Structure 1
């Protein structure tokens, strides 16, 4: 089917959108149908660069390499939502208008009957090497764990999520001061970016190319500031 003619799409959620509190209550998106699904070609990773000291690493997908399954790298499970085209646009807009993620079409397997179905999902817009991944926050992982439990994802996968290391902030006055000074600058920048997404996104929920270029410059400036300047004095805000 021509993608431009689709009135309904299967969207595969593997992160915080698995949680009903996020997807249906906060974002007001009502799926037409919900299925537990698995994408065997990809695994869950945390290669979406977030904000140091708050949410350093966010969930993404990467293709499983040959031989990785033998060392415990398994496929990603999640929730496939059948959405109207309008609700799919709202998902894209709610995920930042394409500034961090891009939409791809992959093959998913529905767990109820083993049937295969093409689904749309979100992966990192940039290829980030696994050595550069940052830890997710405990707050973020709690959303994934809760969503996996609500949707009755396979128990081994729920245990895998529960075992994922998270960013733990040191409890010290110096560290807290460093976080405050970092947030004083970069949280304001984050607020401006979020406002810009709302203002400039198109009918499909995406922002224009010039906005993406500006976002990339700000994102890498923030992380260079953290890695090579701020963390040298106040401590790291990414769990590394």
Structure 2
């Protein structure tokens, strides 16, 4: 897919439903011992017919009755895909996707899960190396294409935010088959999920307050936030489970996760949870209750989730980060000590101000 084929840039959808499912996953018992991928490779015939996934209509008898879904984030891991989402793939195929690259640009929850996996389009003019990514990897996306039923595809959409967090796109994939003698197509089409960038005219400073609340959530830099250790380990585990190319596994191993290195950051996490966790729980219950048969949630509910997410990040930018420290990126120890000292100083200043007010209060 060339840059010209990129879908129009729209708002980055509400993170709330996706974030909540991921946050709930963090509390689950480790399912790695009981969740194992036991399906075989996708058949060559299904891959050759994959072009119909993009063109056939739902009422066309020739339309495939299964969906080829490209996973690149935590859904590569059995603990998430089989255990949490309860998906039962019929088959699978490791692939690389020259038109996409992995990013962590979907905002999550500050101090806890700062960001989640996303994809972005690569330059169409960039050189594509020949051969297996193990030997010559240039930054292209590597992932797993699962063949799933229509029902499971709707469940994936529902647990990934009901169309509010991610939007469905179709991309060409190159199979990385381990089966000797298999005649596979050079490329085939698969569906995946992508959260578009916030367009320039919808960014803070270029729009009114209503657009600011209903568009986004917006972060100044897509490449700033770091995934939590829990989240990046799901990607690493999935890469191991599927035996993805060594160079790609080394890339995932090199990603620095977010770690709270100061008392202020840990306190900020507690306050953040206290303020916003009840709203998150309410939103995920509402999303599950009102999602339609295709896993999509109503537009009004999606807008409400986006507003709450934006309020959360505005509070973080204006109040929590200046007082408690960075909730998106690991800070050096010296910076962490300064953040802790600042948080203690700010707390002391507030206490002093309160005591001074009491001293100057008029006597009854």
Matched, 1:218 2:276: no
Ranges in structure 1 where 5+ consecutive residues have no aligned partner:
none
Q: Which has the larger radius of gyration?
A: 2
Closer/same/farther in 2, CA of residues 229 and 85 from structure 1, 3 Å limit: same
Matched, 1:97 2:165: no
Q: Distance in 2 between matches of 1:69 and 1:140?
A: 31
Matched, 1:19 2:77: yes
Ranges in structure 2 where 5+ consecutive residues have no aligned partner:
1-51, 129-136, 178-183, 199-217, 331-364
Moved over 6 A (4+): 67-70
Matched, 1:7 2:65: yes
- Which residue of 260, 277, 288 corresponds with 1:169? 260
Map 1:1-240 to 2 at 5 A: 1=52, 2-5=56-59, 6-65=64-123, 74-112=139-177, 113=184, 115-127=186-198, 131-133=221-223, 134-172=225-263, 174-239=264-329
Q: Distance in 1 between matches of 2:75 and 2:220?
A: 23
* Cα shift at 1:188: 1.4
Q: Distance in 1 between matches of 2:127 and 2:277?
A: 39
Tell me if the contact between 1:64 and 1:73 (Cα under 8 Å) persists in the aligned partners: no
In angstroms, what is the RMSD of aligned CA positions? 2.1
Tell me if the contact between 1:97 and 1:201 (Cα under 8 Å) persists in the aligned partners: yes
Larger fraction in strand: 1
Higher mean C-alpha displacement, 123-132 vs 58-67: 123-132
Q: Distance in 1 between matches of 2:155 and 2:162?
A: 9
- When normalised by structure 2's length, the TM-score is 0.62
Post-superposition Cα deviations, 1:66-98, rounded to whole Å, max 9, x if no partner, equal 67779x861111110001101100111111212
Closer/same/farther in 2, CA of residues 107 and 81 from structure 1, 3 Å limit: same
Q: Distance in 2 between matches of 1:22 and 1:15?
A: 10
SS of the counterpart of 1:181?
A: helix
Tell me if the contact between 2:102 and 2:120 (Cα under 8 Å) persists in the aligned partners: yes
Closer/same/farther in 2, CA of residues 66 and 14 from structure 1, 3 Å limit: same
- When normalised by structure 1's length, the TM-score is 0.92
